[in-house]
Chains A and B, each alone.
Chain A
Amino acid sequence: MKTPRLSPQTLLLLERFLSRPAAWRYGYELSRETGLKSGTLYPILMRLAEHSLLETKWVTTEDGVPPRHTYRLTPKGMELARATFVRSRSSRTTRQPALAGGSA
C-alpha cells in the first residue's frame, strides 16, 4: 500500500507518537502536545489509520459518557516514522557543512 503524504503536521504527529511508541494516545492529548486543532488532527489520524500506520481502539470510561478513540503506532508505522526521522536528520547534517564552509 502507498504511504500517505507526510505534511509537516503529520511529521509532528509521528514525532509525538515516537516519543512514547507503546502508549495508547487520546486525540485531545495529541492536540495539546502538537498544537494541532481538531479539524487538522483527526483527518491526519484517520489517514494514518487507513494506511495501517496507526491502530485504533474505542475505550469506554464511564456510563453515559461517549467512548474515546485511542491511537497507537503499528510496527509498520513505527518503522516509517523512524525511517523518516533518520532521513530528515541525515539531510540536516549533510546540509550543515556546506553552510559552515563559508567561514573556513
Chain B
Amino acid sequence: MTSQTYLRSVAASLLRLALKVAPQDSFGWGQAVFGELDYVEGDWPALAWAFGGAVVLTKHAMLSLILPGRKRTAINSGTSSWRLRSCLRFRSPLRSERANPKNENRMRPQRNGLPKWRHRYHQISRSVIY
C-alpha cells in the first residue's frame, strides 16, 4: 500500500464525489474501484485510475436520470455513447405495433389507406390547422 499524497487525496475525493452521484446499480463496482485506489502504484496512475472510474460512474448517473426505471447493464466508456444513442433512438409507434401480432388488425389499412392511429392523428392535426 502506498502513502497518501496530494494527488492521491485528489483522486480519492474525485471517486468519493462520483460515488455520491452514482446510481444504486453502479455503486458496488464504484466502491470496488475505490477499494483498489490505495494499491495503485504511483500518484499519477492513481489519479488516472480514479478519473476513469469517476467518468463511467458519472455517465451511469446521467443515464439513470434519462432512463430512471429501466434496468441498465454495465457500460464502459467505449460503448456508452453507442448505448445511449440506441436507448434514445426514436421508436415509431408504427414499428412497435407491427412487432406485436395482436395489433395486426389495428394496423390494417383503413380510412384513406391510413392505419387507425394515423388517421386519428391526421384528423386532429387538420382540426388544429384549419
A interface, CB within 8 angstroms of B? 7, 9, 26-28, 31, 37-40, 42-47, 50, 62, 65-69
Known: A37-B52, A39-B56. A46 touches B39 (CB 8 A): no
* Bound-complex Cα distance A98 to B5 (A): 57
Q: Quick check: A66 and B34 within 8 Å, CB to CB? A: yes
Which residues in B have their C-beta under 8 angstroms from that of A68? 32, 35-36, 39
* Bound-complex Cα distance A46 to B75 (A): 9
Q: Does any Cβ of A come within 8 Å of B31's Cβ?
A: yes
B interface, CB within 8 angstroms of A? 1, 26, 28-29, 31-40, 48-50, 52-53, 55-56, 73-79
Q: Quick check: B77 and A27 within 8 Å, CB to CB? A: no
* Bound-complex Cα distance A22 to B78 (A): 30
Q: Quick check: A42 and B73 within 8 Å, CB to CB? A: no
For the A-B complex with A40-B78, A66-B35 known, give 11 more contacts whose Cβ atoms are closer than 8 Å.
Answer: A9-B78, A28-B40, A37-B49, A37-B77, A38-B36, A39-B53, A39-B56, A39-B76, A45-B32, A50-B73, A68-B36
* Bound-complex Cα distance A47 to B56 (A): 14
Residue of B nearest to A69 (CB): B32
Which residues in B have their C-beta under 8 angstroms from that of A44? 74, 76
Known: A38-B49, A39-B76, A50-B73. A45 touches B29 (CB 8 A): yes
Q: Which of B1, B33, B79 contacts A42 (CB 8 A)?
A: B33
